[in-house]
Structure formats: structure tokens, C-alpha cells
A and B are shown apart, each in its own frame.
Chain A
Amino acid sequence: MNILVLNCGSSSLKYQLFAMPEEQVLIRGGVEKIGSEEAVHKYQAGEREEKTTSTILDHREALRQVLATLTAPEVGVLQDVREIDAVGHRVVHGGERFAVSTRIDAAVKAAIKEMFDLAPLHNPANLLGIEAMEDVLPEVPQAAVFDTAFHQTMPREHYLYPVPYVLYERHKVRRYGFHGTSHRYVASRVSDLLDRDLSRLNLISCHIGNGASLCAIEQGRSVDTSMGMTPLEGVMMGTRSGDIDPSLPEFVMEKEDLSPEDVSSMLNKHSGLYGVSGISGDMRQIDDARKKGSARAAVAFAMYEYRIRKYIGAYAAAMNGVDAILFTAGVGENSALLRQTICEKLTYLGVELDREANEAGTGERVISTPNSRVAVCVIPTDEELMIARDTFVLVQQPNIGKR
């Protein structure tokens, strides 16, 4: 069975085609700058890599081009678009409605639309992708896999904010959390990697990319996560502030004569590593600058590490202990220095880092010593595979996920 996985942004889409259940990637690619005369389509299928620039005015056209690529004889992935058996979409916000992945029908689309308010940048683009796909391949079943779904197991006392309760009742103001598909994937790898039963483990998963979130996972279920109602809450990120005093925006708006939109842009795009260092939101560049003696890059790195370490301490306390700490996503998978700096001050938990495994190894691995009371692992994330797996299950058993 061939499953196409789609991740649509407002002017971009990324895709991968999987052969299931073999979990083999047949092609992966993406289209950027949709809506312009210089849209760029890149893909990689086996040995073949291509990049073309053309006018692509909307997602429908972008998908047509993707399907044409899949069936092009020189690419050799499919003979006919009818060989696509199902499509899985990444959808950012599933609100309280979706605790698991689901088959897409009119009601699901309406629900995704209802959540526009909660994810104004993402859900409209995700829905656009779903509708464009329906136009292009009307007969093919589609599934939605939500970033928020995994965290729907959080208990009430963890997801409510200490603000008037009526705000939750009226507007669903609460913590939702994101990166759920990634946290779920890395947790699913732990039993293989450690040869232990997931249902007996307390995990702290650290998804540290440009956006970053931590997740406390008890018996395979998310019980807390650092992102909240929006992806701005939690640890310090590349360009996002993470946790700040809630009075700060009002104070800065007054002093700098800013509008609410300006403050939002400041906290989302001009803060974090970038805002503090004044150099970049990219950890590699921060690391370079730090080595060359930049004091601001050094303090940005120190803050970044500290704020992640505080959350690890908080989640160890929240779960009354932790058995494994997992690092994933761009920075989490690649910055040995960050992992080392964090772990050096977790000895009170019984963490003992294997420095060689941390620095020299690659891919999925344990980076703590055999004596370490807490296992530390690097697990490269694969959200697309998770979406393909969910979609595979949903289309094979048509009653699952139908409400």
C-alpha cells in the first residue's frame, strides 16, 4: 500500500511517499513559495535529485505538479496516481476534539476549521492542503494526524491555566502542547532501544529544533508538555522567548509604543537565541560565535541550556522520578555540547553520560553509561513515518477513527 504524507504550510508543502507496511520511503520532496512565479519544487527519489522553478499559484497546482512527478517515467516511482492508496496529513491543532488520528470527512474538516482561532497560521494551511488533495484525488481516503493529539492525555490540573475558569469554558483557553507526533515517535522507540517495557517507564522527551518542547511521558502517555495554548510557551527557542513574566508584554508595549501584533512578532520572531545573542537563532552559529569569544552568544547558550534543564527537573518532580531522557530534532540530535552541558548537572538524578557515545556516535543510540540510573538516548525523530503508520492503520480498519 502506498501512502502519501503531506505537511502543508501557508505557502509551502512537504511530502513523502511510503510503501507500507514496509515503511520504505519511495520519494520525498517539497514545494516552496507557492503563490508566486518562482515556486521551487525539490525532490529526491532513490539516487535522483531534482529542483525546478516555475509558476505555481495555489496548493492545488502544487499537488498536481507533485503527482505528475510521482508518475513521471523518468522518476519511476508510480505508474499511475491510482496507485496512491491513502493520504495522511499533518494537522497542527486538533483542540480537545481529537485525542487520536482520524479519517477525514466533512465533520472533521469543519472541526479543523473551528480550530482556526487557536492556530491561525497553521490550521488554515493544513485545511487548504486537505481540500486541494480532495480536488485532485477525490476517491482516495485521507487521514489527519494532529500535533496536539498525543497531549490530550494530560490531566486537567496540568492543562488548565490559573486564570478565571470561565475563559476555559467560553474560549477553550488551556494548554494543548505541540510536537505530539514527534514525542510519540521517540517514546515508541524506547522499548526497542533499552529493551524495557514502555508501560513501566517515566520518560522526558526533549524535542529541540528551531521550535522546542519537552514532554513528560508516563507509561507511554503524555502527562505534561512545555508548550501551552500556543507554541510560544515553554523553553527558550531559536527565535521564540518561551516562558516570560506575563506582565512583560504590557510593560514593553507602553515603553516602546508597540501594538499587540508588534509584541507578538517580537516574542515569536525576535527573541530566544536570536534575540539574546543578536546573532542568529541557529544553534550552530551560536556555537561558532561563542567559540570566537562572543559574550552574548555565550549567555544565550547558557540560558537556553538552563531553561531546558529546569524543565527536566520539573518533570522529574512531576512524575516522581525519571527512567530515561530522550533528545531529538535538529539541535537535540546534533548538539553534543548541549546534551553534555545539560547532563553534567543532572548527576543528582543519577545521570552518568558516556561522553564518547555522546560525541562520536551517530543515529539512534544510548549515550549514558551502563551504570547511569537514568538512561539518556538520542533518537532521530520521524514524524512522517508516524503519520504514514497512523494512516495505514486507519484505512485498513475503516471503523477505527470514525466517530
Chain B
Amino acid sequence: MKSKRVGLIGAGTMGCGLAEAMAAKGFDIALVGRTPEDLQRAEAHLERVLTRRLQKWSLTEAEKKAILSRIRLTVDWGELKACGLVIEAIWERLPDKIAVHRQIEQVVGAEVPIASNTSTLSITEIAAQLQHPERLLGLHFHYPPDRRELVELVRGEQTSDETVATGRAFIESLEMTAVHVFESPGYVTTRLMLPLINEAIALLTEGVATAEDIDTAMEVGYGFHSGPLTLADRFGLDSVLKTMEALFSETGDPRYRPTPLLRQKVRMGQLGVKTGEGIFRYDEGGNRLS
């Protein structure tokens, strides 16, 4: 990377999380949002998250200030010009991702690597629409990125060795761990985790165990930090459903068929933590109600 400046497209929860994690490691961030309102929300979100970390002693006041001073919130794509790497972190919809990547290409030089933070979409398919497909790679970060130090480094059919090497060095400079994966729907983590969540919801439907016991079994028995149903509520059941559908349509394999209760919950608008109810129920602060 020629510059310690990183461009991030998408000022949502993931974009903000990435901005924070990277700024904490000394990178200067241009965080590009769609509208001034998006930026205001992002700013408030960053302030809230960092204040919470300060209260939990993982940051000092000076470190919080330094992190915020390194994040520049903007709607101006011209800010990407001086960046040594651009990462797109918008929602998982192929046409939108392609449009954003085309727009990035118009601003940055041909030598600047571009990454997509996708968990299921095809890097090759996005790259096919670009002038320089060799500089596109996938960097699948996990949420929240300041605590989940795993990145799936995804290589599309046309991704160059140089791009992969730059991506790997960048992940190392964030003190995160990269696993190298070749393009395949869901890569490693999503392909293993989402069917497990789906199966946990099926177990619940069948009345085999209570939701609490299903999570306890995996937490205590297999050392999961959070059980699969808790994770489903945190990801959002709509995201879980979308991902399962994507895996199902991509592979045609019935083991990825979304379980009916998942579909039903999404139709009822019970999407998890963000709506106050999913598999479990939550208060306004997102704390689980017993």
C-alpha cells in the first residue's frame, strides 16, 4: 500500500466498525456515506461505540480522540483519490455493489487495490464489470471488527497475486488473521455457520429443546462465544434468510433450504435485536429480556 489512507464506502454499522478498527491501528480513513443524514447517524454511532469502549476501559480519552480525528466522514467521492486501498462495505446486493465498484474505479488510479466486504457474493462476477478486474479482492470482515479478528481473504478468478499480497499485508498491519479462500458461495465461515443457525431454528420448530437450551448446549458444549440463536438475532433474521436463499439458489443443494420458521419470523417483522424481537426478546438498549 502506497498510502496509510483507506477509503471506506458505506457508513452503516459495518462501515463504522471497520473505520474504528482501522483508525485504531493508525490508518487515516475517508468514510464515504450516501447522504449527510447517513453521516450524522454514523458520527453519532461512532461516538456512542467509542464512549462505551471508554467506559469499559478498553480505550483512553486520548485514544478515543485520536481514533475520531483519523476518521473523515464525507459524501465526496473525490476523497478516495489519495487512498492506498478502498473497501466497499454496503449491503449485500449484487447490482448495487457493481454500481459502487464502477464508481470507485472512476475516482482512484488503476494501481489502487479495491476490496469488497461481501460474505456471499461473487468477486468474479463483480470484477467482470470492471476495467481492472485484477485489482479486486474480497475482504470478508466479521462483526464487530474490533473484536473479531478474522478476515476471509477472497480471491476471484482474475484477482492478481499482487492484489492478494497487498490485502494480506494490510490485514497483518491491522493485527488481524487472514484465511485465504478461493471463491465459493459463503466461503468458509458463512457456509459453515449459517446452515448451523438454520438447523438450530429447525430444532426449535421441532420442539427438541428450548431456544435457551439450544444456545447453552453450543456455548458450554462447544465453546461458542454466543449460541447460534443469539447469533441469528444479532445478524438479523432477514440477513440470515437472505444468505440461506443465496446459498440455496447458487448451489441448488437442499441442505441450504431456509427452515420455515425463519421465513415466518421474517414475514412477521420479527428480525432480531434490531426490532426488539426475533428468536428472543430485547429491550430498547438491545439487552435480552429473560
Closest 5 A/B residue pairs (Cβ): A266-B57, A262-B58, A270-B57, A265-B58, A269-B60
- What is the interface of chain B mostly: helix, strand, loop, or mixed? loop
Determine the chain B residues whose CB is within 8 A of the CB of A262 once the complex forms.
56-58
Contacting pair A258 B57 (CB below 8 A): yes
A256 at interface by CB-CB < 8 Å: yes
Q: Note all chain B residues with C-beta closer than 8 A to A11.
A: 26
In the complex the two chains form, is B147's CB within 8 Å of A269's CB? no
Instruction: Known A35-B4, A35-B26; judge A259-B57 contact (CB<8 A).
Output: no
Given the complex, which residues of A lie within 8 Å of B58, measured CB to CB? 258-259, 261-262, 265-266
Question: Shortest beta-carbon distance, B22 to chain A, in Å?
Answer: 14
Complex interface: chain B residues within 8 A of A261 (CB): 58
* A2-25 Cβ-contact flags toward B at 8 Å (1 or 0): 000000000100000000000000
Whether B4 lies near A258 (C-beta < 8 A) is no
Tell me the residues in window 44-73 of chain B with beta carbons closer than 8 Å to chain A beta carbons: 56-60
Give Cα A261 to B56, complex, Å. 11
A165 → B minimal CB distance (Å): 30
Chain A residues, CB < 8 A from B26: 11, 35
Chain B residues whose C-beta falls within 8 Å of the C-beta of A259 in the assembled complex: 58, 147
A22 to chain B, nearest CB (A): 39
> Which residues of chain A are near B56, meaning CB under 8 Å?
256, 258, 262
Residues in A lying within 8 Å of B, measured CB to CB: 11, 35, 57, 256, 258-259, 261-263, 265-266, 269-270
The answer to whether A270 and B60 have CB atoms under 8 Å apart is: yes
B116 to chain A, nearest CB (A): 28
Residues of A within 8 A of B59 (CB): 265
Provide the bound-state CA to CA distance between A265 and B4, in Å. Answer: 25
Query: What are 14 inter-chain pairs, A to B, with CB distance below 8 A?
Result: A35-B4, A35-B26, A256-B56, A258-B57, A259-B58, A261-B58, A263-B57, A265-B57, A265-B58, A265-B59, A265-B60, A266-B57, A269-B57, A270-B60
Whole-angstrom CA separation of A259 from B58 in the bound complex: 9
In the complex, A57 Cα to B58 Cα: how many Å? 27
Compute how far the CA of A57 lies from the CA of B147 in the bound complex, rounded to whole angstroms.
28
Question: Closest CB of chain A to B50's CB: distance in Å?
Answer: 13
Interface string of B137-156 (1 = CB under 8 A from A): 00000000001000000000
Which A residues are CB-close (under 8 A) to B57?
Answer: 258, 262-263, 265-266, 269-270
Nearest-neighbor residue (CB-CB) of B53 within chain A:
A262
Q: What's the nearest-Cβ distance from chain A to residue B156, in Å?
A: 32
B3 to chain A, nearest CB (A): 10
CB closest residue in chain B, given A258: B56
Across-interface contacts of A35 in B (CB, < 8 A): 4, 26
Of all chain B residues, the one with the shortest Cβ separation from A239 is B60
Residues of A contacting B4 in the complex (Cβ-Cβ under 8 angstroms):
35, 57
In angstroms, how far is the closest chain B Cβ from the Cβ of A124? 12
Given contacts A256-B56, A266-B58, 14 further A-B contacts (CB under 8 A): A35-B4, A35-B26, A57-B4, A258-B56, A258-B58, A259-B58, A259-B147, A261-B58, A262-B56, A262-B57, A265-B57, A265-B58, A265-B60, A269-B60
Q: Closest residue of chain B to A259, judged by CB? A: B147
B70 (CB) vs chain A CBs: closest residue: A36
Q: What is the CB-to-nearest-CB distance from A280 to chain B, in angstroms, rounded to a whole number? A: 11
- Residues on A with C-beta less than 8 A from B147 are 259
In the bound complex, what is the Cα–Cα distance between A106 and B134 (angstroms)? Answer: 40
Measured in the bound complex, the distance between the Cα atoms of B56 and A266 in whole Å is 8
Cβ of A266: which chain B residues have Cβ within 8 Å of it?
57-58
With both chains docked as a complex, state the minimum distance between the C-beta of B148 and any C-beta of chain A, in angstroms.
11
Closest to A274 in B: B60
Give A269's nearest chain B residue, CB to CB.
B60
- Which of B4, B58, B60, B147: most chain A CB closer than 10 A? B58
User: Within the complex, what minimum Cβ distance (angstroms) separates A278 from chain B?
Assistant: 12
Nearest A residue (CB) for B26: A35
Chain B nearest CB: distance from A175 CB in Å?
A: 26
Residue of B56, B57, B58, B147 with most chain A CB atoms under a 10 A cut-off: B57
Contact with A along B186-218 (1 / 0, CB 8 A): 000000000000000000000000000000000
Chain A residues whose C-beta falls within 8 Å of the C-beta of B60 in the assembled complex: 265, 269-270
The A-contacting residues of B in range 260-282, CB under 8 angstroms, are none
Q: How far is the CA of A270 from the CA of B55 in the complex (A)?
A: 10
How far is it, in angstroms, between the C-alpha of A258 and the C-alpha of B171 when the chains are bound? Answer: 24
Bound-state Cα–Cα, A394 to B26, Å = 37
Q: How far is the CA of A261 from the CA of B147 in the complex (A)?
A: 10
Minimum Cβ distance to chain A for residue B189 (Å):
20
Q: How far is the CA of A52 from the CA of B147 in the complex (A)?
A: 38
The distance in angstroms between the C-alpha atoms of A261 and B59, with both chains bound, is 10
Q: Chain B residues with Cβ under 8 A from A57's Cβ?
A: 4
Closest to B57 in A: A266
Write the nearest CB–CB distance from B127 to chain A, whole angstroms. Answer: 32
Cβ distance B175 to chain A, nearest Cβ, rounded Å: 11
Residue of chain A at shortest CB distance from B147: A259
List B contacts of A256 (CB < 8 A).
Answer: 56
CB distance from B239 to the nearest CB of A (A): 24
Distance of A265 Cα from B63 Cα, bound (Å)? 11
- Tell me, in angstroms, the Cα distance from A69 to B147 when the chains sit together: 43
- Give the complex CA separation of A268 and B58 in angstroms: 10
- Docked pose: A269 CA to B57 CA in angstroms: 8
**Nearest chain-B residue to A262 (Cβ)?**
B58
Interface residues of B in 1-24 (CB under 8 A from A): 4
A384 to B282, CA, bound (A): 58
**Shortest distance between the CB of B64 and any CB in chain A (Å):** 12
Report the minimal beta-carbon distance from A40 to chain B, rounded to whole angstroms: 14
CB distance from B152 to the nearest CB of A (A): 22
Distance in angstroms between the alpha carbons of A47 and B118 in the assembled complex? 59
